[in-house]
Amino acid sequence: MDGGFFDLLRQRFASGMERPMLRVAGGPTVTYGEMDARSALAAGWLGSQGVSAGDRVVVQIPKSSDAVALYLGMLRLGAVYVPLNTAYTEAEVDWFVSDAEPAAVVRDAAALTAGLERAKPLTGWAARRDDDLAALVYTSGTTGRPKGAMLTHGNLASNALTLNEAWAFQPDDVLLHALPIFHVHGLMVALHTAMLSACEVIFLERFEAAQVLADLPEATVMMGVPTHYHRLLATGRFDAAACRGIRLLVSGSAPMTAALHRSVADSTGCEVLERYGMSEALMITSNPYDEPRVAGTVGFALPGIEVRVWGEDGCAPAGQAGMVQVRGPNVGPGYWRRPDATAESRTEDGWFITGDVGRLDERGRLTLEGRAGDMIISGGLNIYPAEIEQALDAHPAVVESAVVGLEHPDLGEAAAAFVVAEHDIGGDPDEQMSDLAGTLADLARFKHPKRIVLVDGLPRNAMGKVLKAELRTRYADLFRD
């Protein structure tokens, strides 16, 4: 690919400029031509703010058509998109800004819209090479310090083209989009794939089951996290009639249990297609589009991508579990300004170590079995225990804490904290809890443990290491219905 990811997108939707692109509730539908023009304004506006090709721009704004225009404007200008979850606190944003050293920070959606009204458009677009950076997507690390996963124009283009073909996108597809666009799933899986066929996108600001059900009959494709499917089923109205136009339901970002997969199939007649990926490597495997999908598995390596399972003695034979490793044009070049973390995430022969444990069957179908670390995936969002433990441990009355992920009916997994207190923090247990919750104020709310349990001590092995597996077993029912 020459010219960069915007060049590819532009080529693909150039013949359909009059086609509807984003259907936004309560607003006019934006056509591809209008979005193209708006992205030119966004590029011009960024340029007037002193942003040039290669510069990072941190963005923390709600989902909107102007947020999409800004992203496309950034690709157009050759700037590097650094999206942040709108739930992040000031303290978290400060940290990201200090790490990314952006040329501009966009956190005021109204100022963006006003800027676009005044801007002089950049009608052309910067030529970008495959290995030029397009985005930095922050993921937290095992030590609690976030790392920016670098993604290049080549990574974005290869993954979008691969998914567009593997999932048989056609111009007459209508994508129901209820995911946030500050993550790989909503932006680089859902939106990119649809844009490559100039499809119409029903663009919902957030996931709300009743609204999704209302729009579903007009859609042909929906992508979501397992929690979305769970919530749709809970309405009792997620059925074959609601899915009458649907040809593809995709799930990812968190494991979908075989039971949930079957419930969706029983209720709607649609077999969810589960796929597997991560910010560092975009999409890695997918269940097949036109062969049976197997509940509880994440399918085969996507075309052009290699997956292997590494056991104690090297490459594990079929059926044996080990660390999932991946190689291909989807894998990003590493972590922003973190050569140590980049090196740790690669094997000597250049494979990316995903951190997930899984096994391949004889045909190369991958089943995930867990993760090497103790990262929690809650409602499709990653939560790193170390970050929460560090915050809890900073409380003067906390001796130590351990945070684990426990099965949760709605979120799949939810964070629970086990805290050993020095002495009574206060008199009333409710006050103790709110006092402890206060120590988490600098962390985004979705990271806050759904339960904080005061315990006398933490289980440890002979070496003194906290036995998190034991906590998970002992408290397995904490969130169960």
In the complex, the residues that contact ligand MLC under the rule CB under 6 A are 87, 179-180, 183-186, 206-207, 225, 227, 252-253, 277-279, 378-381, 411, 445-446, 448
Phi-psi region of 23 (alpha: psi -120 to 50; beta: other; left: phi over 0): beta
Closest separation between CB of residue 254 and ligand MLC, Å? 7
| Nearest 10 degrees: Cα torsion 369, 412, 212, 239 | 70
Q: Give 244 or 445: the residue with its C-beta nearer to ligand MLC.
A: 445
Q: Is 69 helix (H, G, I), strand (E, B) or coil?
A: helix
Spatial CA neighbour of 75 closest among 128, 37, 111, 117: 128
Q: Give 4 or 379: the residue with its C-beta nearer to ligand MLC.
A: 379
Closest separation between CB of residue 408 and ligand MLC, Å? 9
Q: Is 291 helix (H, G, I), strand (E, B) or coil?
A: coil
Closest separation between CB of residue 185 and ligand MLC, Å? 3
**Taking CB positions, which residue lies at the least distance from ligand MLC?**
379
Spatial CA neighbour of 401 closest among 381, 383, 382, 415: 415
Closest separation between CB of residue 405 and ligand MLC, Å? 10
Phi-psi region of 299 (alpha: psi -120 to 50; beta: other; left: phi over 0): left
Closest separation between CB of residue 412 and ligand MLC, Å? 9
Q: What are phi and psi of 63, to 5 degrees?
A: -65, 130
Closest separation between CB of residue 380 and ligand MLC, Å? 4
Q: Give 398 or 411: the residue with its C-beta nearer to ligand MLC.
A: 411
Q: Give 59 or 225: the residue with its C-beta nearer to ligand MLC.
A: 225
Spatial CA neighbour of 388 closest among 451, 477, 317: 451
H helix runs in 208-338, sequence order: 209-215, 226-234, 258-268
Q: What are phi and psi of 53, to 5 degrees?
A: -55, 135
Q: Give 276 or 418: the residue with its C-beta nearer to ligand MLC.
A: 276
Task: Return the number of other C-beta atoms located less than 10 Å from residue 121's C-beta.
Answer: 19
DSSP 136-164: EEEE--TTS--EEEEEEHHHHHHHHHHHH
Q: Give 322 or 405: the residue with its C-beta nearer to ligand MLC.
A: 405
Closest separation between CB of residue 180 and ligand MLC, Å? 5
Spatial CA neighbour of 359 closest among 312, 309, 413, 405: 309
Q: Give 95 or 446: the residue with its C-beta nearer to ligand MLC.
A: 446
Give the integer Cα–Cα distance in Å for 467 and 402.
9
Closest separation between CB of residue 222 and ligand MLC, Å? 13
Q: Please work out, in degrees rounded to the nearest 5, the angle formed at the alpha carbon of residue 48 by the alpha carbons of 42 and 49.
A: 90
Q: Give 37 or 87: the residue with its C-beta nearer to ligand MLC.
A: 87
Q: Give 51 or 196: the residue with its C-beta nearer to ligand MLC.
A: 196
Closest separation between CB of residue 375 and ligand MLC, Å? 11
